[in-house]
Amino acid sequence: MDNEKWYVTTILMPDDILYVGITQEEYGTEITVSEHDTEDEAEQACKEYSIKNNIPLFEEYKEVY
């Protein structure tokens, strides 16, 4: 049985914008929003958190050179 968890996590990127995404590691209570049993559950929770809090999804991050 696979006991992996998925986490919805916020991260401040170099462009000084806070993003939200999913990870398989917990990074602490200050940036971990929620814990989920499946990737699909985490993805859905991430999208809902993004909309509710007006925070862009990490997948929207564009690295600036």
**Residue pLDDT tens, the chain, 65 long:** 456 899 999 999 988 999 999 999 887 777 899 999 999 999 999 999 999 999 999 988 888 76
pLDDT at residue 1, as a whole number: 42
Cα–Cα distance, 60 to 30 (Å, whole number): 22
The answer to whether the predicted template modeling score (pTM) of the entire model surpasses 0.95 is no
65 within domain boundaries: no
Instruction: Report the C-alpha gap between 23 and 5 in whole angstroms.
Output: 9
Measure the CA–CA gap between 20 and 39, rounded to whole angstroms: 14
Q: Residue 3's pLDDT is what?
A: 67
Give whole-number Cα distances, 51 to 7, 25, 58, 59, 61, in Å. 17, 23, 13, 14, 16
> In this structure, is residue 24 part of a structural domain?
yes
pLDDT of residue 47: 97
In 1-65, the DSSP E strands lie at 6-12, 18-23, 32-36
| In a domain? residue 1 | no
How many domains is the chain partitioned into structurally? 1
Residue 13 placed within a domain:
yes
Domain that holds residue 24: 6-60
